[in-house]
Structure 1
Amino acid sequence: MYLSYKTEARNTLKLALPIIFGELAQMSLHLIDTAMIGYTGYKQLAAAALVLNVINIPFIFGIGVTISVAQMVSLAHGKFDKQQVSHYFYNGFWLCAVFGVLISLGLFFGRDILLHLKQDPEVVELAMPFMTLMSFSIIPMVLFMTLKQFADGLQYTKTAMALSIAAIPLNVFLNWLLIYGNWGFPRLELIGAGYATLITRVTIFVLLGIVILNHKVFKKYMAVSKTQWKIKKETLVQLLKIGIPSSLQIGMEAGAFAVSGILVGTIGAAEQAAHQIALSSAAFAFMVSLGLSQAGSIRVSHAFGTTNWKRISVIGKSTVILALIYGAVCCILFAVFKQQLPLLFNHEENVISIAAALLLFAAAFQIPDAIQATSAGLLRGIKDVNVPTFFIFIAYWVLGIPLGYLMAFHFGMAEKGVWIGFISGLSFSAIFLTIRFLKKTRQHLS
């Protein structure tokens, strides 16, 4: 049994590594934007944080819908049904395209919400045009993620990873031109970062689309039979039954972090900038946990297609152990380098001091964050999404955000109080989701 756990852990890591590198590359784009914007001034950084916090909830909802593509494609792939793979891909792509357009238009026409969040007026003025550009960039990003999920569901993960990595120098170069006004380009600062993001996202979507439609690895799944490339109501319902709860799960978590950023913004611009630095660092570390979660989910879903519950159990437990080890390593690194990490984003002494203190709180939730992400992914792999969604709602919106608000504004802990709420919510989620997965596998094995 020990060898089985070791083998399954190795297989999960093999699948996870390209996903992790792809996720880290995508997060690197965000961190690079944050760092390059931060050196134009802390109010520019605060404006970027405000926009990202506002768009994050609906954006993550769109990304959550794309998860259903990987899940259903992986299930059909486990049954060796090429026609079903093709059918789920076609329906999933158009479903996600509709969600992407609706989210983008909703954010564009609702951008005046920035005026009503009690933020620094100068920060809001800087944020408005950036909000417009980021709203439109959601469409190509959702479409890119849909194609990525299709490839991941087939366990071909390297193509999207390569494009995500290639996007980094492109984004840096565009930022260098448009934020700072090099090579005769106008100095656009925050707006320049918005244009750079939009151009980069369109580019990687188009390139991945060309690869999937033409490469021999994927071409065999393209319209195996013309009847498979038809929109069917029952297929859309199947996708939504996975996609909506998945969206709610990651949306409620991302939403809690976004609301916390807005709450911190009411304390002050320096606090919001420091909060963004600490949160960006934690989010970068989380990408590895997310990669483990996606790999574990895909492998469990593949085994679920053949109802092999012993294999599901071994894959799941070994993946949780990997997440535990990784979370412990991140906890140590955050605590050791709490003074150095903020220097990557800003040189304002006050901002760096606040961010260093918040990174200690970020260190404290690395283990529960890694475990809850992994357990949620494993449960999605066995198509158990409704009860976990309820647990996540309790964790963030009944426990985490209210406790954070009380600690911040009623017990005088300011931004530190908000982070105490994070720790409590993530810990609750980690415990109950892991117990849920272990219970489900034990029931089927017995």
Structure 2
Amino acid sequence: MSDQTAQNASARPRIAESSWRTELRAMFVLAWPLVIAQLAQTALTTTDVIMMGWLGPEALAAGTLATSFLMPQLLLGIGIVGAVAPLTAQARGARDIKAVRRIVRQGFWVAIVAAAVLVPIILQIRTVFGWLGQDPILTERANEYIQIGAWMMFPALAVIVVRSFLSAFDTTRIILLVTVGGVLVNAAANYLLMFGVLGFPRLELRGAAIATVLTNIVMLAALLAFVLTHRRFRRFHILIRFWKPDWPRFMGIVRMGVPIGLTVLAEVGLFTAAALLMGRIGTAEVAAHAVALQCASMAFMVPLGLGTAATVRVGVAHGRGDRAGIGRAGWTAFALGTGFMALTCLAFVTLAPLIVTLFLDPARPENARALALAASFLGIAGIFQIVDGAQVVAAHALRGLSDTKIPMLIAIVGYWLVGLPVSWFLGFQLGWGGTGIWTGLAAGLAFAAVALSTRFALRERLGLMAPGRSG
């Protein structure tokens, strides 16, 4: 072998190593603000729950009922408009500025249409809760919140469009800052309007609803102000000729976004069904389930943020036709997501008895059974963490390739034809109780994780990397 050939051969591994290192750095810089922003978004609802609790147990129960009715439909809408992120990332990779402008503009159109469809459904809470036999007094108070709070759908979905645009261009710190600002605005508005402080009327749950709507309007205004004035983004003119239709782009977002929304809805429905199954066993099981689920949900924000970053990085590589870049982006996010979840698995398995005491007072004898159950559920949740992180990152990486329909079917099969039946069988037929239900959840997520990861690994063989492919 000549000296030149040897030098070339030794250079190739260094170049590959450098590329992976560059991808790792880019993924981390993009993802960490998104992770913290997801946690801050959770703090928005946590603030509402805390302040509703200050009003008393009836207000808290009514507010919880209202938000439990609102959130699945909000998440459906968020999933639909979330298609703006991968499509914009692909257009960025292809250096198509005109396509970026049209995608974002039609994203606002989709947000408006989705909200216009969902809001009238949400406003029917009194009728729906009547069919479900909910307490009439709580239903009426929940209706007070919903009649105002439902209108947050319009600004909230528009916020997702702008966030998707910014994420596609690796500009995520402003998303973090605006979300944290939103938490502060929401807390202040809640305090003033719910409790009638500083001369404001005491509106209680209606005040909380007004605060939620105002917070989303403020967040949208802040993000739009940034996009329209920042020299990097104002050149896109995303609001120019806003009312000019672009039906192919509109339908492209809908075709890609509806499966994403239904995937999210399927997962939310699975955990709702699990809570209902717990309710058939006993109060202690429900309390323990709530503790374990809260811990798992907080940890889930990390792979969720990494998943969003994977969508962008894979989408950009796909747009520029970089096959190797697609693999690096997807597998880097996968390694980071599952690696973090492996650490939380270790923490949950080894520290579960200590962690659950943050939620339930061990000094109170009536909490003893719930504490023991919560610790056992959290141990299972540790294993659950790894497959949950794997499936969410894999699903988001596939979205970067515009692949959403088959992942939706995989999720539905995993959640509803594997997870829920296994939960029911182990929990009730074999008598495992809540432990069986959590084992079933882990089984469903494991199915989805293996199937989605395999699909990403076989992306070339399955024809997922064809330019212009959608759905």
Are 1:370 and 2:384 matched, yes or no?
no
Partners in 2 of 1:175 and 1:224 — Cα distance?
Answer: 32
Structure 2: 5+ residue stretches without partners = 1-15, 466-471
Q: Which amino acid aligns with 1:363?
A: G
Summarize the Cα distance change of 1:115–1:130 in structure 2 as closer, same or farther, 3 Å threshold. same
Partners in 2 of 1:338 and 1:194 — Cα distance?
Answer: 36
Summarize the Cα distance change of 1:273–1:51 in structure 2 as closer, same or farther, 3 Å threshold. farther
Conservation of the 8 A alpha-carbon contact between 2:63 and 2:142:
yes
The SS at the match of 2:264 is helix
The SS at the match of 1:419 is helix
Conservation of the 8 A alpha-carbon contact between 1:83 and 1:223:
no
Q: Percent identity?
A: 31
Q: Which amino acid aligns with 1:240?
A: V
- Corresponding position of 1:389: 408
Conservation of the 8 A alpha-carbon contact between 1:68 and 1:239:
yes
The SS at the match of 1:230 is coil
Cα displacement (A) at 1:2:
3.7
Q: Deviations over 1:194-215 (max 9, x none)?
A: 4432332222122222322333
Q: Which amino acid aligns with 2:329?
A: I
Question: Over aligned residue pairs, what C-alpha RMSD do you find?
Answer: 3.2
- Of 418, 421, 438 in structure 2, the residue corresponding to residue 402 of structure 1 is 421
TM-score (norm 2): 0.83
Cα displacement (A) at 1:299:
0.8
- Corresponding position of 2:9: none
Give 1:112-261 correspondences, 5 Å limit. 112-117=127-132, 124=139, 127-178=142-193, 192-222=207-237, 230-261=244-275
Larger mean CA deviation between 229-238 and 320-329 belongs to 229-238
Give 1:295-314 correspondences, 5 Å limit. 295-314=309-328
Are 1:425 and 2:444 matched, yes or no?
yes
Partners in 2 of 1:41 and 1:338 — Cα distance?
Answer: 31
Larger mean CA deviation between 418-427 and 61-70 belongs to 418-427
- Corresponding position of 2:24: 9
Summarize the Cα distance change of 1:251–1:224 in structure 2 as closer, same or farther, 3 Å threshold. closer
Structure 1: 5+ residue stretches without partners = none
- Of 71, 74, 80 in structure 1, the residue corresponding to residue 89 of structure 2 is 74
Cα displacement (A) at 1:164:
0.2
The SS at the match of 2:232 is helix
Q: Deviations over 1:242-289 (max 9, x none)?
A: 111211222211222233334445666775555444333322221211
Conservation of the 8 A alpha-carbon contact between 1:61 and 1:251:
yes
Q: Deviations over 1:90-130 (max 9, x none)?
A: 11111111102221221112443223446677765654434
Cα displacement (A) at 1:323:
0.9
Larger mean CA deviation between 210-219 and 343-352 belongs to 343-352
Q: Deviations over 1:312-354 (max 9, x none)?
A: 1122112111111111122233345545656666768549635
Cα displacement (A) at 1:435:
0.8
Conservation of the 8 A alpha-carbon contact between 1:111 and 1:128:
yes
- Of 88, 91, 98 in structure 2, the residue corresponding to residue 83 of structure 1 is 98
TM-score (norm 1): 0.87
The SS at the match of 1:171 is helix
Max Rg structure: 2
Cα displacement (A) at 1:60:
1.3
Conservation of the 8 A alpha-carbon contact between 2:105 and 2:239:
no
Q: Deviations over 1:3-49 (max 9, x none)?
A: 43232122111111122222121112123333444566666555544
Partners in 1 of 2:96 and 2:297 — Cα distance?
Answer: 36
